[in-house]
């Protein structure tokens, strides 16, 4: 008798069974679903572990201390002097971290430095404000600094008389934040960028490191307060401290990679070299010389003009000579004073432009005559200014200005 049953060649699909209007899932289907969820969970866990190992646990070279490598934090490293110091440090094999809020610095300078030194672990830039103690502490906790070069500061005498609280906050308070983070994270070397403005208007020239400090403007006063904090702290620690009081900075990188490019709104308060170049380029109708009745040989202020390349060299030598538990204080200048009128004539020759000059009343907070005695820094750090030809320093800076009419924007064709 033939069987009426039949053999299934294909398994019956899973389906729900309806009993009295209620659906009951097929147990086989449920077990399959649970298995898929478990597999997905396992795969997700594996992916997370792989990602953690490959990326989340990545150790930045800037967070490590390496034998033979000195890691320097350069505050204000996007600025005029700070960027030149960074260039020199990188050329000498240092590892550098720049911290700058770009209020006066230029991201264009940072990009040039990154292009010159693209190797991993050489240079990093961190956008931050030194007034933010939490952010500064985080930076110190995530990076293994060996030393700090503290340049970051507003630095215009005239502006300081208009906005004194801004200067005390930016210079004095921010230096305190840096010191606190250095102490908390055991960073024991500080090279501090100070100024001859802390001396005020001494009765006797040239200025030595023992000259009494009696600043006459908020810029100089704020810097002296910062110095006092550093010196007081150094008495209770084994920190290596170098304080460099430098004079009027001019010039730029001799190879034309970096220059000075202050924000346009600060042209009125900027350095005399910048004002000369603006007048030579026609950006300003002329040069304003403030004060012609000082007790000097031609009635204008006398200053000691130091080339930025020499200034940076002094900082590097100070870093090399810094010793734990010791403090070094040095004037950084040429030892020769030049009047503002002499400077203007040198600028005319350097640019080849007959710059129009307007003579105006004195600027508040200025002093008649300031120039250094560089004997101490020569004897102790073996440093001497080499770029002392005023016209030549201005010519180097002028070449950069002509080639970068928009500052660190698009370079123009280099002119002779």
Q: Please give the pLDDT value at position 365.
A: 76
Q: How confident is the model at residue 46 (pLDDT cuts 50, 70, 90)?
A: low
Closest CA to 84 of 272, 304, 246, 252: 252
Catalytic residues: 219
Backbone angles phi, psi at 235, to 5 degrees: -70, -20
For 50, 65, 274, 335, 403, the CA distances from 270, given in Å and listed in that order, are 54, 39, 7, 23, 20
- Residue 70 contacts residue 97 (beta carbons within 8 Å): no
DSSP state, residue 54: I
- Round the CA-based radius of gyration of the chain to a whole number and report it: 31
How far does Cα 213 stand from its chain's mean position?
27
Rounded Cα distance between 314 and 316, Å, is 6
Q: Please give the pLDDT value at position 367.
A: 82
Q: What is the mean pLDDT of the segment spanning 321-341?
A: 97
Is the predicted pLDDT of residue 243 greater than 60, yes or no? yes
Average model confidence (pLDDT) across the chain: 89
Tokens of 265: 């709104």
Tokens of 104: 């006066």
Q: Is the peptide bond before 173 cis (omega within 30 degrees of 0)?
A: no
The maximal CA–CA distance of the chain, rounded, in angstroms, is: 138
Range in 37-41, 163-167, 366-370 the model is least confident about: 37-41
Range in 227-236, 379-388, 399-408 the model is least confident about: 399-408
pLDDT digits (tens, 9 = 90+) for 264-298: 777 777 788 999 999 999 988 999 999 999 999 99
Rounded Cα distance between 381 and 394, Å, is 26
Q: What is the mean pLDDT of the segment spanning 255-259?
A: 97
Q: Please give the pLDDT value at position 30.
A: 55
Q: Please give the pLDDT value at position 266.
A: 74
Rounded Cα distance between 387 and 366, Å, is 26
% of the chain beyond a pLDDT of 70: 86
pLDDT digits (tens, 9 = 90+) for 64-80: 999 999 999 999 999 99
Rounded Cα distance between 362 and 10, Å, is 103
Tokens of 102: 């770009």
Is the predicted pLDDT of residue 390 greater than 90, yes or no? yes
Q: Please give the pLDDT value at position 47.
A: 60
């Amino acid at each position: 008798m033939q069987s009426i049953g039949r053999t299934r060649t294909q398994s019956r699909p899973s389906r729900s069974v309806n009993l009295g209007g209620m659906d009951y899932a097929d147990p086989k289907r449920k077990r399959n679903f649970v298995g898929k969820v478990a597999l997905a969970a396992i795969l997700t866990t594996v992916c997370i572990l792989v990602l953690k190992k490959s990326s989340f646990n990545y150790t930045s070279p800037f967070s490590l201390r390496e034998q033979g490598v000195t890691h320097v934090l350069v505050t204000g490293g996007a600025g005029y002097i700070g960027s030149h110091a960074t260039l020199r440090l990188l050329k000498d094999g240092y590892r550098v971290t720049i911290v700058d809020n770009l209020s006066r610095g230029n991201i264009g300078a940072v990009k040039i430095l990154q292009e010159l030194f693209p190797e991993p672990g050489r240079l990093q830039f961190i956008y931050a404000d030194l007034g933010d103690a939490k952010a500064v502490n985080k930076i110190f906790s995530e990076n293994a600094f060996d030393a700090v070069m503290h340049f970051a500061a507003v630095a215009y005498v005239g502006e300081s008389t208009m906005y004194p609280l801004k200067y005390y906050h930016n210079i004095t308070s921010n230096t305190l934040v840096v010191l606190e983070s250095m102490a908390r994270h055991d960073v024991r070397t500080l090279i501090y960028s100070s100024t001859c403005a802390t001396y005020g208007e001494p009765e006797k020239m040239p200025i030595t490191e023992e000259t009494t400090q009696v600043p006459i403007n908020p810029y100089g006063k704020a810097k002296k307060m910062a110095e006092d904090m550093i010196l007081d702290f150094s008495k209770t620690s084994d920190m290596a401290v170098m304080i460099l009081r430098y004079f009027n900075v001019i010039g730029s990188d001799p190879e034309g990679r970096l220059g000075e490019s202050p924000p346009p709104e600060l042209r009125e308060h900027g350095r005399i070299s910048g004002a000369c170049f603006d007048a030579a380029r026609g950006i300003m109708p002329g040069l304003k010389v403030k004060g012609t009745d000082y007790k000097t040989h031609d009635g204008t202020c006398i200053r000691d003009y130091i080339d930025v390349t020499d200034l940076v060299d002094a900082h590097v030598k100070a870093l090399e000579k810094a010793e734990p538990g010791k403090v070094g204080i040095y004037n950084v200048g040429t030892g020769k004073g030049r009047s503002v009128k002499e400077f203007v004539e040198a600028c005319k020759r350097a640019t080849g432009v007959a710059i129009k000059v307007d003579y105006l009343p004195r600027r508040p907070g200025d002093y008649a005559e300031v120039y250094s005695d560089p004997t101490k820094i020569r004897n102790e750090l073996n440093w001497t200014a080499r770029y002392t030809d005023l016209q030549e320093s201005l010519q180097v800076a002028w070449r950069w200005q002509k080639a970068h009419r928009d500052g660190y924007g698009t370079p123009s064709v280099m002119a002779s």
